[in-house]
Structure 1
Amino acid sequence: MTSPKRVDPNLPRLEPEPDDHPALPERDAVRRSFDRAADSYDEHAVLQREVCDRLLERLDLTTIEPRTILDLAAGTGQGSAALRQRYPKARVHPLDLSEAMLRRARQHGSWWRPLPPICADISRLPIADDSVDLIFSSLGLQWVDDLDRAFREIRRVLKPQGLFLFTTFGPDTLTELRQAWSAVDERTHVNVFADMHDIGDGLIRAGLAEPVMDAEHFTLTYETADALMRDIKRIGAHNVTADRPRGLTGPRKMARFRQAYEQFRTEDRLPATYEVVYGTVWKPK
């Protein structure tokens, strides 16, 4: 059985060619954002933990007994640790773009031994062809700047009849935040998220089979718009698009933004909607 290549986080990364589309996330900005947020992530990633747990529950609906598992965008290791517990005989490989997040994962215990975390990009996996039984990814695909390329990589490393199980954010995510900023200017202040149907089409284009997808909405509430934005920043999920405003936002614009967000206030709280897309897809024989 061929196993994924182990990559030292300190080694140089293989980087895909940059994509300068203004609505797509910038890879270096994504890495820097999560590196900075690594120490505060676990304290504030309430939604991310819930979504990961729900994705893990969907494994109850399969009969797969994987020997090799790849956890894409593993972050601080919640999914990897749970997968190791669920499949104790399997080799679980956590992979993330952020070295700081992987260091936090290693601090959470010895679940990852003897396999070191892999620091790499989802769009260019340092993994052998046809070597992974299960690829698990909870809320990682929204940080990829080329989903078609990422899906081709996922198909390449999956074994025939291997399973790809994932969640990502849909376009309704942070719709209130996006609308409030649209009253201020025409710049991209919120990350752009792919539609569920476009994701499904991309999976088919990559040669994956039988995609099953659905979505659900979560609503978090905050006392102020500033509290929401601080929460987003503390988990590294703030705006990383190429078209994002650079530098500090002036006080007048901030005042207009806060005022625009107030239209959504209900029962003295401001909502923040998240659309979570769930997907299951297989590699054909």
Structure 2
Amino acid sequence: MAFPLVFDRPLLRRRLARAAALGPADFLLARTAGDLAERVGAVKRSFAVALDLGTPTGAVAQALAGAPAIGRLVRAAPLAADRPSLVADEEALPFADAALDLVVSALALQSVNDLPGAFAQIRRALKPDGLFLAAMIGGGSLAELREAFAVAESETTGGLSPRVAPFVDVRELGALLQRAGFALPVTDIDRVTVRYATPFAVFADLRRMGAANALAERRRVPLRRATLLRAAEIYAARFSDPDGRVRVTFEIVWLSGWVPHESQQKPLRPGSAKMRLADALGTIEQPARDIPDKDRPETDTPER
């Protein structure tokens, strides 16, 4: 089945190369890499072969360097200039089935066009009981920028064009992991607020993150100066703190899943519990017929 081309992937790689040449703004990636290393360290097992997939810089490799739980770490990234172990696209993994014990990724998979397909390839590349752990930019990110540009563009051009990526929603990720064949899927959100002196400082840092517009349906003409200035005015007016600094919200979505294995925990069979719920709650169990009508819970289930 064909998937929609939301992102211009060749352009995205050029954006990342430009960010590296400018000197990347890597504070968000460094924070995420540190958190990822802590999460891997909390897993009480070892991983003989681990893959760092698509992370734009060597931040994750540095954070995991010397980790006793990891035997060999392979880094696959889209840019050869960043000296990864191999150059690879997240949408076309060059690994044999069941070749890896751990796959990690930081702030890369949000720009994949076929995310279900990428998850399925990661699942196939992992051994039974292998772990997938990733952080992605979430749907609540850059809400301030999205609003400022939407209003500014409608005022100056009479229409709207896509400028901020439609990041995936956390509620969808668990289902996508299960669809790809992962067991025990877990997702959670880390919201980070960053403050800047001016909106133009925000724009500059996004360029140095490689996060400039790489949408396939973007408008193919230069941004009007009037639109940019008006967006900066709206941003400053709506999203400034009392000291005049402006806020930027980043939402980091964490997701993890395991390749199924017989050693993993499984839900108990109905009726196999060894303790009654009433005992666990410290209450007295009463048959339903002995509960007065006024104490019966209301329900929306229709009577038959």
- The TM-score normalised by the length of structure 2 is 0.79
**Higher relative contact order (CA closer than 8 Å, sequence separation 6+):** 1
Q: Which moved more, 1:202-211 or 1:57-66?
A: 57-66
User: 1:41-120 counterparts in 2 under 5 A?
Assistant: 41-42=23-24, 44-87=25-68, 90-100=71-81, 102-103=82-83, 117-120=85-88
Are residues 1:200 and 2:181 paired? no
**SS at 1:221 equivalent:** strand
Are residues 1:225 and 2:199 paired? yes
1:138-169 deviation digits (Å, cap 9, x = unpaired): 11111211100100000010000000011001
**Distance in 2, Cα, partners of 1:182 & 1:257:** 8
Which residue type is aligned with residue 53 of structure 1?
Answer: G
- For structure 2, the 5+ residue unaligned runs are 155-159, 262-304
- For structure 1, the 5+ residue unaligned runs are 1-16, 106-116
Match of 2:126 in 1: 158
Deviation at 1:60, TM superposition (A): 2.6
Are residues 1:144 and 2:112 paired? yes
Match of 2:253 in 1: 277
- Percent identity of equivalent pairs: 34
**SS at 1:277 equivalent:** strand
1:69-88 deviation digits (Å, cap 9, x = unpaired): 00011332121133231048
Deviation at 1:135, TM superposition (A): 0.4
Are residues 1:236 and 2:210 paired? yes
**Distance in 1, Cα, partners of 2:202 & 2:196:** 6
1:250-283 deviation digits (Å, cap 9, x = unpaired): 1221222112212111121111100111112101
**Distance in 1, Cα, partners of 2:93 & 2:234:** 42
1:93-144 deviation digits (Å, cap 9, x = unpaired): 10111222x23x6xxxxxxxxxxx1111111100111010010111111121
Question: Of the candidates 148, 169, 192, which is equivalent to residue 137 of structure 2?
Answer: 169
Q: Which moved more, 1:260-269 or 1:242-251?
A: 242-251
Match of 2:290 in 1: none
Q: Is the 8 A contact 2:173 2:255 kept in 1?
A: no
1:25-55 deviation digits (Å, cap 9, x = unpaired): 211111111122123444x211110111011
Which residue type is aligned with residue 50 of structure 2?
Answer: I
How many residues are aligned here? 253
Match of 1:25 in 2: 7
Q: Is the 8 A contact 2:47 2:101 kept in 1?
A: yes
Which residue type is aligned with residue 139 of structure 1?
Answer: L
**Distance in 1, Cα, partners of 2:99 & 2:4:** 32
Q: Is the 8 A contact 1:189 1:244 kept in 2?
A: yes
Is the alpha carbon distance of 1:273 and 1:62 closer, same or farther for their aligned partners in structure 2, counting shifts above 3 Å?
A: same
- The TM-score normalised by the length of structure 1 is 0.84
